[in-house]
């Protein structure tokens, strides 16, 4: 790095550290700038907080250990706020410690979750054309799950710009071929992140939306109409819907909140075509529902039952859909592996 960044508290040969003691740490403009500066220098960034701090969804979803790590300080020691892995400072950075289980404060939090988070994670593909408009997919999600379009958007928190698809599209077009990552918020505390990426096949728009659920946990059977609307309006690549225990305000504590529950998986028409309709809708995939055009349908796979049953069904489904000789479906996550659980649904 050419010089110290005002936000960064310590720079060594192997890492840059930012110390934060606030109750909730957002994806602020200064933190975005620090991430960019550190990334250009080829160093990982470690955000160090006390165990009483929480992260916003936007910042939490950006974590990618070891490149962007949340280091949590506790009287019993340090640990990774995303995975629970014990850490220790080796003089230049917080490094992983070989351990058989996650840190106790992460595995057994003092304050249990008081709600449920519903996460909708989808990817649609656009043609790289002047008529392409970004933001429609996010708006469809918000209308479906909150009853209204997003209220605002921006690159950092707090969100300051009123929602405007034309402005979102213009910004993404101006930044192309570089990727664009932006945040949005909506009614009822819903928050989300959109990632726009240009590639040889067009423009991918990935939307991850989080909605606090204050009543009973949602059931997969109620999402098929949403999938149908999504397929009717967009070129869907894939979709994942899952729920997990969490705080009602959607901030994320450095603790394992409990087992998540996959609610459903959808594959777009191109993915179904590549797999083959026979395999996509038979065998363990017999749970698949045809959605959209009859000659070139998308597939919606609702996952019923409790969390354990849903994970078992998902593993069987992924193993069946995987190409011959491809990677096996990952095992059901244990309490010591939130990263594995999220890895089944996160991209990147």
What are the residue ranges spanned by the domains of the chain?
Answer: 10-106, 115-343
Instruction: Give the pLDDT mean for 332-336.
Output: 42
Q: How confident is the model at residue 1 (pLDDT cuts 50, 70, 90)?
A: low
Cβ contacts of 204-207, under 8 Å, gap ≥ 24: 204/123, 204/124, 204/125, 204/126, 204/237, 205/123, 205/124, 205/125, 205/126, 205/134, 205/137, 206/121, 206/122, 206/123, 206/347, 207/120, 207/121, 207/122, 207/123, 207/124, 207/137, 207/138, 207/141
CB 103 within 8 A of CB 76: yes
Check pLDDT > 80 for residue 260: yes
In which region does residue 22 sit, left (phi positive, over 0), alpha (psi from -120 to 50) or beta (all else)? beta
What proportion of the chain, given as a percentage, has pLDDT over 70?
90
Burial class (CB in 10 A: 0-12, 13-18, 19+), 160: exposed
How far apart CA 308 and CA 39 sit, in angstroms, is: 39
Backbone angles phi, psi at 147, to 5 degrees: 85, 5
Q: Is the peptide bond before 233 cis (omega within 30 degrees of 0)?
A: no
- CA 202-204-205 angle, 5° bins: 145
- Whether the full predicted model's pTM is greater than 0.85, yes or no, is yes
Residue 200 has which token pair? Answer: 């040889």
Distance (Å, whole) CA 250 – CA 179? 26
Measured in degrees and rounded to the nearest 5, phi and psi for residue 201 equal -90, 0
pLDDT at residue 327, as a whole number = 47
**What is the predicted pLDDT for the residue at 329?**
46
pLDDT tops 50 at residue 117: yes
- On whether the CB atoms of residues 94 and 69 are closer than 8 A, the answer is yes
**Which segment of 13-27, 84-98, 201-215, 225-239 scores lowest on mean pLDDT?**
201-215
Q: How confident is the model at residue 106 (pLDDT cuts 50, 70, 90)?
A: very high
Give the residue with greater pLDDT, 332 vs 70: 70
Distance separating alpha carbons of residues 107 and 85, to the nearest angstrom:
10
Query: What pLDDT is recorded for position 284?
Result: 83
- Kindly report which listed range (15-24, 185-194, 204-213, 334-343) carries the lowest average pLDDT score: 334-343
At 181 the three-state DSSP class reads strand
In terms of pLDDT, which residue wins out, 15 or 284? Answer: 15
Structure confidence at residue 335 (pLDDT)? 43
The average confidence (pLDDT) of the chain is: 89
pLDDT > 90: what percent of the chain? 75
- Cβ contact 55:86 at 8 Å: no
Residue 7 pLDDT grade (very low, low, confident, very high; cuts 50, 70, 90): confident
* 225: CB partners within 8 A, 6+ apart: none
Over residues 42-59, the mean pLDDT reads 96
Position 10 pLDDT exceeds 70: yes
Residue 285 tokens, joined: 């995939």
Asked if pLDDT for residue 32 goes beyond 80, the answer is yes
Taking a C-beta distance cutoff of 8 angstroms, is the pair 107, 335 a contact?
Answer: yes
**pLDDT digit string, tens, across residues 127-177:** 989 899 999 999 999 999 999 999 999 999 999 999 999 999 999 999 999
Strands 16-19, 10-11: pairing kind: antiparallel
pLDDT above 60: residue 119: yes
Helices 136-146 and 224-233, axial angle in degrees (round to 10): 160
Q: Cβ(212)–Cβ(250) under 8 Å?
A: yes
Q: Is the pLDDT of residue 226 over 50?
A: yes
């Amino acid at each position: 790095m050419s010089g110290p960044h005002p936000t960064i508290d310590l720079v060594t040969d192997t890492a840059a550290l930012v110390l934060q003691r606030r109750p909730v740490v957002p994806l602020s403009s200064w933190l975005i700038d620090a991430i960019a500066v550190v990334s250009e220098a080829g160093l990982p960034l470690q955000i160090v907080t006390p165990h009483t701090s929480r992260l916003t969804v936007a910042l939490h979803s950006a974590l990618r250990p070891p490149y962007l790590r949340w280091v949590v300080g506790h009287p019993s020691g340090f640990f990774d706020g995303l995975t629970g892995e014990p850490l220790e400072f080796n003089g230049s950075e917080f490094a992983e410690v070989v351990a058989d289980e996650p840190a106790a404060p992460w595995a057994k939090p003092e304050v249990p979750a008081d709600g449920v988070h519903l996460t909708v994670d989808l990817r649609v593909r656009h043609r790289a054309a002047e008529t392409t408009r970004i933001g429609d997919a996010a708006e469809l999600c918000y209308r479906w799950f909150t009853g209204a379009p997003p209220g605002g958007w921006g690159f950092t928190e707090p969100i300051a710009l009123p929602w405007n698809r034309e402005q979102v599209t213009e910004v993404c077009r101006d930044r192309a071929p570089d990727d664009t990552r932006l945040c949005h918020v909506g009614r009822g505390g819903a928050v989300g992140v959109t990632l726009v990426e240009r590639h040889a096949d067009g423009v991918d728009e990935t939307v991850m939306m989080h909605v606090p659920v204050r009543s009973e946990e949602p059931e997969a059977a109620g999402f098929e109409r949403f999938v149908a609307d999504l397929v009717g309006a967009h070129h869907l690549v894939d979709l994942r819907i899952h729920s997990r225990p969490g705080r009602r305000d959607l901030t994320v504590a450095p603790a394992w909140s409990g087992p998540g529950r996959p609610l459903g998986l959808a594959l777009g028409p191109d993915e179904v075509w590549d797999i083959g309709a026979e395999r996509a809708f038979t065998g363990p995939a017999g749970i698949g529902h045809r959605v959209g055009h009859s000659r070139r349908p998308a597939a919606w796979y609702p996952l019923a039952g409790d969390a354990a049953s849903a994970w078992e069904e998902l593993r069987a489904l992924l193993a069946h859909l995987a190409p011959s000789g491809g990677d096996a479906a990952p095992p059901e996550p244990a309490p010591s592996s939130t990263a594995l659980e999220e890895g089944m649904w996160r991209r990147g």
